[in-house]
Amino acid sequence: MTEKEKMLKGMLYQSWDPELLNERARARKLVDSLNRSKSTESHFREQLISDLFGTIDGDIFIEPPFYCDYGYNIHVGDGFFANFNCVFLDVCEIRIGKRALLGPNVQLYTATHPMERKTRASGVEAGKPIIMGDDVWIGGGAIINPGVTIGDNVVIGAGSVVTKDVPSHTFTAGNPAQMIKQLS
């Protein structure tokens, strides 16, 4: 099994593998072009994002700067909006439903490292996917940790650190994030 196959399956893998280094370099070039583009170059930005992301289902908008590892593990639905300075560490799949809104500085981390010291010291890492439903709003500065699933019609408060799955129709906030109330 290749290191990329291990990465995509959420297994321990070597991130310094030449194939993965090349794919990250490709993503960095696209991200750099996106981040240096002018606000008047909307068609150019759309093409860069289309080349970077795995799938885009409809109209989306990303406010640069934006950062990611690979890009091809990112899948977004129609009406997706990401405000300034979002970071997606996409060593595993990030799948976001329709009409999702991300405030500035939102960070989605699929990358994780072993808890055991000797294994961690070897440099290997792993990942766990992040899945979001439709009509999700994530407030500025929130961090979504590896392996989290967020249901439909969810609001995550600004500055929250989400470490566990979030059920549909809830407002969740805090560090660590907790359900505050049900939404209609």
Q: Is 75 designated active site?
A: no
Q: Which of 43, 75, 113, 169 is catalytic?
A: 113
- 3-state SS string over the chain? CCHHHHHHCCCCECCCCHHHHHHHHHHHHHHHHHHHCCCCCHHHHHHHHHHHCCEEECCEEECCCEEECCCCCEEEECCEEECCCEEEECCCCEEECCCCEECCCCEEECEECCCCHHHHHCCCEEECCEEECCCCEECCCCEECCCCEECCCCEECCCCEECCCECCCEEEEECCEEEEEECC
Catalytic positions, written as ranges: 113
